Amino acid sequence: MKKETLAIHATHIQDETANSVATPIFLTTTFERSADGSYPKGHMYSRNSNPNRDALEKGLAALEGGARAFAFGSGLAAVSAVFQCLSKGDHILMPEVGYYASYKLAEEIMGPWGLEVSQVDMSSLPAIEAAIKPNTRLIWVETPANPLLSLSDIEAIATLAHGRGIRVGVDNTIATPIFQNPLALGADIVMHATTKYIGGHSDVLGGAIVVKENDAWSERIQRVQILMGATQNPLDCYLLARGLKTLPIRMREQATSALDLAKKLENHPQIAQVHYPGLPSHPQYALAMKQMPMGQSAMISIQIQGDETRARQVANALTLFTQATSLGGVESLVEHRRSIEGPTSTTPGNLLRLSIGLEHVDDLWADLQQALQS
Ligand SMILES: *Cc1c(COP(=O)(O)O)cnc(C)c1O
């Protein structure tokens, strides 16, 4: 079945009370036990499982082509579940460029628990190979990665890792399962901040892990989900399953607008540089075409002619783009990354990150043009 069809049907729950077409929401913490002590519908307590969580997890696993999925209360809760599969003394190799808080989690929280972490240029295979240690158990990949939308070659990294008994986890938040399926490229684990494109409406925080196989790590992630307890509540699972239904169509439309805008921005005299993996000028364009041939998602970073003050002027002059952190919603956002990342940031001061939403592309272009000319 195609992804559009899976997205609609994989999360369906057959309602036995009223045959409702829309999914009912099971706002219950607990489920009735039979006289013989069994749980006939398979649910006992909502931290362990809930029909809405099951439905969402089934949908995510189907779209990623994985054996199982696990939903958490935030993207970071999902990342930490993977890290918690490791043991004291294990080493995680993480990207130099990637979601800042994922690295902070490894360093600040998992560090004192005995995990070792180091960072590497995840777009360079020789650098990755050189950074692998005897105790490396996990390579954490994020592609495309913020804020320059640099790419990592999942297939090549998986080959390198598997030869050494190392697992590969991929943060697939930006590409989404519509444009990139890391498991098919050899990764073992996929992570999503479902907060972003999967929810798609900037109203739910969530995270998910999808595993390729039902193996020891899959068992362990499930134990972490249940015992650490950062599970996702039924209402949010419902909203995310609803978001999943329109994900393929939203992604297609948003990525088409993003490519169109990236091309136009590249030719604008007020722009110094455009970072978008779908542009032939992107240093890893060939890899983008191989790894995400159907679309390169809807995040664009632009460097404005001029300094940080000028970039912030442009951001202030935009009217359709809301200045806010995060990404992946139907409404377009703009973010001055350097001032959010703080004094240790290596992001250029003249860089603005755009999350292209579902507004008409002509209106977005008109807004960008007037702001760049302001
Ligand atoms: C937002 C985000 C996360 C973290 O997700 P939360 O839901 O905020 O915890 C992780 N990785 C990427 C790429 C993200 O964009």
pLDDT digits (tens, 9 = 90+) for 268-313: 999 999 999 999 999 999 999 999 999 999 999 999 999 999 999 9
Active site (catalytic) residues: 47, 99, 171, 196
Confidence of residue 259 (pLDDT cuts 50, 70, 90): very high
Residue 340: per-residue pLDDT: 87
Find the 193 Cα to ligand 1 centroid distance in Å.
5
Residue nearest atom 6 in ligand 1 by C-alpha distance: 75
Q: If pLDDT is split at 50, 70 and 90, which confidence band does 196 have? A: very high
Ligand 1 atom nearest to 142, measured from its CA: 13
Banded pLDDT at 342 (limits 50, 70, 90): confident
Domain boundary among 242, 271, 289: 242
Query: Residue 374 corresponds to which tokens in the numbers above?
Result: 């302001």
Domain count, the chain: 2
Q: Are residues 237 and 158 in the same domain?
A: yes
Regarding whether 266 and 235 lie in a shared domain, the answer is: no
**Distance set, CA 352 to CA 139, 268, 281, 333, 339 (Å):** 29, 15, 18, 10, 10
The residue from 224, 242, 260 where one domain ends is 242
d(CA 6, CA 244): 9
- Find out whether 374 and 314 touch, Cβ atoms under 8 Å: yes
pLDDT at 346 (0 to 100):
85
Confidence of residue 267 (pLDDT cuts 50, 70, 90): very high
Whether residue 236 has pLDDT greater than 90: yes
Q: Is any ligand 1 atom within 6 A of the Cβ of residue 74?
A: yes
Q: Angle 234-266/361-373 helices, nearest 10 degrees?
A: 60
Which of 242, 265, 289 is a domain's end point?
242
3-state SS, one letter per residue, for 176-211: HHHHCCCCCCCCCEEEEECCCCCCCCCCCCCEEEEE
Instruction: Check residue 343 and give its pLDDT.
Output: 84
Q: Is 335 in the pocket of ligand 1 (CB under 6 A)?
A: no
Return d(Cα 111, Cα 105) in angstroms, integer. 8
The CA distance from 202 to 287, in Å, is 30
* pLDDT tens, position by position, 19-55: 999 999 999 999 999 999 999 999 999 999 999 999 9
The DSSP result for 100-114, as a single string, is HHHHHIIIIIIGGGT
pLDDT in tens, 146-185: 889 999 999 999 999 999 999 999 999 999 999 999 999 9
Find residue 141's DSSP bridge partners: 170
Domain range enclosing 229? 3-242
Structure confidence at residue 341 as a pLDDT band (50, 70, 90): confident
270 plus 237 within the same structural domain: no
Count Cβ atoms below 10 Å from residue 76 Cβ, excluding itself.
21
Taking residues 239-244, report their average pLDDT.
98
Q: Are residues 255 and 208 in the same domain?
A: no
- Residue 171 belongs to domain with CATH number: 3.40.640.10
Helix H or strand E encompassing 370? helix 361-373
Place of tokens 């404005």: 304
Write down the pLDDT at residue 146.
84
In ligand 1, the atom with minimum distance to the C-alpha of 77 is: 9
**Contact between residue 337 and residue 233 where contact means Cβ atoms under 8 Å apart:** no
**Using a 6 Å cutoff on CB, does residue 102 contact ligand 1?**
yes
Residues 216 and 117 grouped into a single domain: yes
Mean pLDDT within 359-363: 98
- Model pLDDT, residue 344: 81
The CA distance from 14 to 6, in Å, is: 16
Kindly report the average pLDDT of the chain as a whole number.
Answer: 97
Q: Say which CATH number the domain at 358 has.
A: 3.90.1150.10
Q: Based on the fold, state whether residues 213 and 99 are members of the same structural domain.
A: yes
